[in-house]
Chain A
Amino acid sequence: MKKTKKKLNGAQIFFECLKRENVEVIFGYPGGSTLKIYEELYDVDFLTHILPRHEQGATHMAEGYAKATGKVGVVLVTSGPGATNTVTGIANAYLDSSPIVVFTGQVPTHLIGNDAFQEADIVGITRPITKHNFQVRDIHDLAMTIRKAFYLARTGRPGPVLVDLPKDMIHSEIEFEFPEKIELRGYKPTYTGHHNQIKKAASIIQKAKRPVLYVGGGVIMSNGSDELRTLAKEYNLPVTMTLQGLGAFPADDKLSLGMLGMHGTYYANQAVMNSDVLISLGARFDDRVTGKVDTFATDAYKIHVDIDPASIDKNVLVDLPIVGDVRIILTELLNELKEKRDTKDWLDQINKWKQTYPLQYEKGDGILRTACVIERISEKTKGHAVVISDVGQHQMWCAQYYKFKNPRSHITSGGLGTMGFSLPAAIGASFGVKDRPIVSICGDGGFQMNIQELITAVAHKIPLKIFIINNSYLGMVRQWQELFHQGKYSFTDLDSDNPNFVKLAQALGIPAYSTDNPDEVDDLLDSAFAINDKPVLIEFKVEKEENVFPMVPSGASISDMIINKPKSKALKVA
């Protein structure tokens, strides 16, 4: 590329860099230390700027956009409170390995450390929750730093990167030159897996009698779903997915076992625990998946494919680690695999488990249940929507009953479990995905945590479907109180305090409906999906004290599942 040399100020350099990174949307909130950037933004036409109503919303929007598209989500906030408001969103992106870049304004360099107005040490605060962070101290480093930030966010194991911009760095001028090359001596992610290890994996898979593919978000992030599908189908390997892996493999395929772990299916957990070869692809043996670690799949030969060497042997010791990009490794693995395997006996066994305890819920008694609502949404959208769930019981039902068909279709806060994630993340996703419905599924509690973003959805006429699962409780906590804390519903009953969600939405110009009748669900969904020029909200008033089953109590082995509601109310905590 031809070298361009012109004099630009920091704000202009900022936008030049965003342009080179092909940024099409940023989620930002202005303030004193970023005024100059906003002055410049006034005349910028290559990107859309979205104003959330709280900076936490901005970070979740960026993450929703990133998860839906695979591109880097960009946030721009002011110093001090603007910066600290992004912390939860950054931590969330860190634990779910989402590529976002957060730009924070900062007081001018000569005032740093003075407790100046709206000064916060955001670099110090976010050090343990970012993949990396920077403070620009010299305007000559500005372009390179932005370049590095995007590069770090999207390569290797993706993650959030923060760039702190002191006010004087935005104002001063230099001759601009875009750095084409990046120099990062200490950062060299491994993409291609070790050839001999892959060969070995192939020969072990070929001999396996009871193989299981255990699939995490890494498959989706590496765009490896097609390769996974080929692998599973050609070699008859059953597939179970983590919360973040849902969508990597079609839920309605006969080889799919659905989700594993704490609220996974009985048959997925049985298959994993009885497997002789467990092939982990882009998953990290999280404690919500493994349950009691020393009992987890003890007989299985464990193959672990992960881009992050630090994930290997962290929670569970594995037999064959392969570090690299999941898609690249799967491609090579497919080349190494020769004969097709007959796993019929094993699949028969799994089918028996499927029949013993299928996923099911009570029907036909006129009571509206979350599982029913999710199942209807799944059928209406034929499994093709982008579904963004919040955190709690409804999130687990969503994972169990929505039949995800495609990758990048299930977006949820997994690692951090941040209530209030869904609404802003769904708004963010809507700026990246135009050809599929975007569905936000919230609990009545979590919906209130970033409720202000309804206004953002209205402002941008986003055709978002907002479905509130109102059980009048902080349901997931109430479930634990019922099962493990003597039924003491301490501060989880929202009933009398919940707002009238329909009136609230209507006050903002959002068409809204409410029902507690299973027979009305289909018609309401039809009318919601018919609206395409603005958000729409439906409140589903569901059975209040319903519990999510099956369930592995915390600390128990995943083969010890509670399948149904136990007779006695309080269980002992394992």
Chain B
Amino acid sequence: MKHTFSLLVENTFGAFDRVATLFSAKGFNLHSISIGETEIRDISRMTIVISGEAKVVEQAEKQLNRLVDTVKVVDLTKSQRVERELALISVNYKRRSLEEIKNICDVFRGKVVDINNKTITLEVTGPPAKMEAIVNVLSPFGIIEMARSGTVALKRGEQQKAPQKEYLHSN
């Protein structure tokens, strides 16, 4: 089963690499990983989609938590959430198929962002299932290139906030 994790990580050199290294070192099955700024200056949010048996996913969560740079780890799979992905998809078109492709684009509420005499590039956003669907529908036309952002996600309703800074007193 797929699990979506939301991580708040220190915006330090190496934090991203540390998470990526963990996945290769432990052999976890990684589907997508995305990282970007948050409302807090020195904290980034990573959204990670992984799959595996419950035991493996639980271990992955613990290992992510164990990293010194991760401030918070939430398995969003356990809660109501909004998940979105952005895809840029370039498709071959013939004069006959152009209308059909545009229609598909409309149905998926996408946008045409580029076109030349051979290919048309669509921009589509949506939850993971929708992305799979449009890729399926466009495949027969011949997808030339595709770039996907990976999933980004937030919990619905109350938002996770980065914790207030706390000071640890050493012993």
Do B65 and A309 touch (CB < 8 A)?
yes
Instruction: List, in ascending order, chain B residues with CB within 8 A of A133's CB.
Output: 14
Instruction: Say yes or no: B68 contacts A128, CB within 8 Å.
Output: no
Check B59 for interface membership: any CB of A closer than 8 A. yes
Tell me the minimal C-beta distance from B150 to chain A in angstroms.
Answer: 22
Residues from 40 to 86 in B contacting A, C-beta threshold 8 Å = 55, 58-59, 62-63, 65-72
Collect the chain A residues with CB atoms within 8 Å of residue B168's CB.
151, 181-184, 187-188
- Assess the A182–B170 pair: CB atoms within 8 A: yes
A185 and B71 form a contact (CB under 8 A):
yes
Determine which of A147, A182, A186 lies in contact with B10 in the assembled complex, contact meaning CB atoms within 8 Å. Answer: A186
Q: Is there a chain B Cβ closer than 8 Å to A127's Cβ?
A: yes
Across the interface, which residues of B come within 8 angstroms of A309, CB to CB? 62, 65-66
Q: Which residue of A181, A186, A314 is within 8 Å of B167 (Cβ)?
A: A181
Assembled-state Cα–Cα distance A124/B168 (Å): 27
Check A123 for interface membership: any CB of B closer than 8 A.
Answer: yes
Interchain CB contact under 8 A, B169 and A308: no
Confirm or deny: A33 has a beta carbon within 8 angstroms of a beta carbon on chain B.
Answer: no
Supposing A183-B167, A183-B168 touch, asked if A152 and B66 sit within 8 A by C-beta, the answer is no
Of chain A, the residue at the smallest CB distance from B42 is A185
Closest Cβ–Cβ distance, residue A311 to chain B (whole Å)? 9
Known: A127-B14, A132-B68, A313-B58. A181 touches B169 (CB 8 A): yes
Q: Considering the chains assembled together, what is the distance between the CA atoms of A314 and B59 in angstroms?
A: 7
CB contact list, A167-207 vs B, under 8 A: 181-188
Q: Are B67 and A186 in contact (CB under 8 A)?
A: yes
Q: Tell me the complex Cα distance, A310–B10, Å.
A: 21
- Are A185 and B17 in contact, with the CB atoms below 8 A? no
| A188–B72 alpha-carbon span in the complex (Å) | 11
Residues of B within 8 A of A308 (CB): 66
What is the distance, in angstroms, from A445's C-beta to the closest C-beta of chain B?
29
- Once bound together, how far apart are the Cα atoms of A124 and B25, in whole Å? 13
- CB pair A123–B14 under 8 Å, yes or no, is yes
The contact size tier of chain A is 20 to 34
Report B-chain residues with C-beta under 8 Å of the C-beta of A135: 13-14
Instruction: Select one of A181, A182, A183, A310 contacting B66, CB under 8 A.
Output: A310
Distance, CA A124 to CA B67, complexed state (A): 15
- Least CB distance, A160 to chain B, in whole angstroms: 13
Task: Report yes or no: B167 in contact with A131, Cβ–Cβ below 8 A.
Answer: no
A314-333: CB near B (< 8 Å → 1, else 0) gives: 10010000000000000000
List the A side residues contacting B65 at CB < 8 Å. 309-310
Q: A128-B25, A310-B59 are in contact. Are A186 and B18 (CB under 8 A)?
A: no
Is residue B165 contacting chain A, with contact meaning CB distance below 8 A? yes
Contacts of A127 in B (CB 8 A): 14, 17-18, 21
- Give the residue of B163, B170, B171 whose beta carbon is less than 8 angstroms from that of A185: B163
Determine whether A363 belongs to the interface, using a CB cutoff of 8 Å to chain B: no
A185 touching B10 in the complex, CB below 8 Å, given contacts A124-B17, A152-B68: yes
- Chain A residues whose C-beta falls within 8 Å of the C-beta of B132 in the assembled complex: none
Q: Cα distance A309–B73 when bound, in Å?
A: 14
B39 within 8 Å of A (CB atoms) = no
Answer yes or no: B166 CB below 8 A from chain A CBs. Answer: yes
Q: How far is the CB of A152 from chain B (nearest CB, A)?
A: 6
Nearest neighbor of B72 in chain A, beta-carbon distance: A186
The distance from the CB of A164 to the nearest CB of chain B, in whole angstroms, is 10
Q: Is the CB of A310 within 8 A of B25?
A: no
Is A182 touching B167 in the complex (CB atoms < 8 A)?
A: yes
A137 near B: Cβ within 8 Å? yes
Chain B residues 132-171 with CB under 8 Å of chain A are 163, 165-171
Q: State A317–B10 Cα separation when bound (angstroms).
A: 32
List residues of chain B with CB within 8 A of the CB of A128: 21-22, 25
Measured between alpha carbons, how far is A309 from B10 in the docked complex, in Å? Answer: 21
Interface residues of B (CB under 8 A from A): 9-10, 13-14, 17-18, 21-22, 25, 55, 58-59, 62-63, 65-72, 163, 165-171
A interface, CB within 8 angstroms of B: 123-124, 127-128, 131-133, 135, 137, 147, 151-152, 155, 181-188, 308-310, 312-314, 317
Name 30 interchain pairs, CB-CB below 8 A, sorted by A.
A123-B14, A127-B17, A128-B22, A128-B25, A131-B68, A135-B13, A137-B13, A151-B168, A151-B170, A152-B68, A155-B170, A181-B167, A181-B168, A181-B169, A181-B170, A182-B167, A184-B68, A185-B71, A185-B163, A185-B166, A186-B69, A187-B168, A188-B168, A308-B66, A309-B65, A310-B59, A310-B65, A313-B55, A313-B58, A313-B59
Beyond A133-B14, A137-B13, A186-B68, 14 extra complex contacts between A and B, CB < 8 Å: A123-B14, A127-B18, A128-B25, A181-B167, A182-B168, A182-B169, A182-B170, A184-B68, A185-B10, A185-B166, A186-B67, A186-B70, A310-B62, A312-B62
Task: Give 3 nearest A-B pairs by CB, closest first.
Answer: A310-B62, A132-B68, A128-B25
